[in-house]
Amino acid sequence: MVDLDAVLFTEYDHHEKLPLALIEVARDIGQEKPAGVMQHLARLAGVPAYVALYTAAPAANPANPNWPDIERFRVRRMWPRPEAGWRVLTPGQWARALVQIRGWQLKRFEVQAAANDDRF
């Protein structure tokens, strides 16, 4: 961790423990949130990187009433092809985007068997 007010998540395939994306998450206080180190890590690892800033909702989280729910996210891709601006997403939209990113990445890393592999 570089600073304690943010969390860096690694999205990975549970079975293979294959890193699929790096995502820095922090509470949205109107900041720009530079993520240069994460961009370089993502480039070196060959995985996409995102910053996701969340705005807390006035209502409690239904899964744990000790924490507020999330009202919205401001999301920006940092690697590859960094986005110049932020996209505002609902929690459902961000969840669907994460599932889509996971699918794209798993397809990239699928091992294709060759005809001369021992398995054949």
Each of the 120 residues of the chain gets a pLDDT tens digit; together they read 344 445 556 777 777 788 889 999 999 999 998 889 999 999 999 999 999 999 999 999 999 999 999 999 999 999 999 999 999 999 999 999 999 999 999 888 876 655 666 654
**Token pair recorded at residue 51:** 């910053």
With a threshold of 0.85, does the pTM exceed it? no
Residue 16: phi, psi to the nearest 5? Answer: -90, -10
What is residue 9's predicted lDDT score, i.e. its pLDDT? 62
Burial class (CB in 10 A: 0-12, 13-18, 19+), 35: buried
Half-sphere exposure of 101 (CA within 13 A, CB side): 21
Alpha helix segments (H runs only) across 5-109? 36-45, 91-109
What is residue 1's predicted lDDT score, i.e. its pLDDT? 37
What is residue 2's predicted lDDT score, i.e. its pLDDT? 43
What is residue 106's predicted lDDT score, i.e. its pLDDT? 87
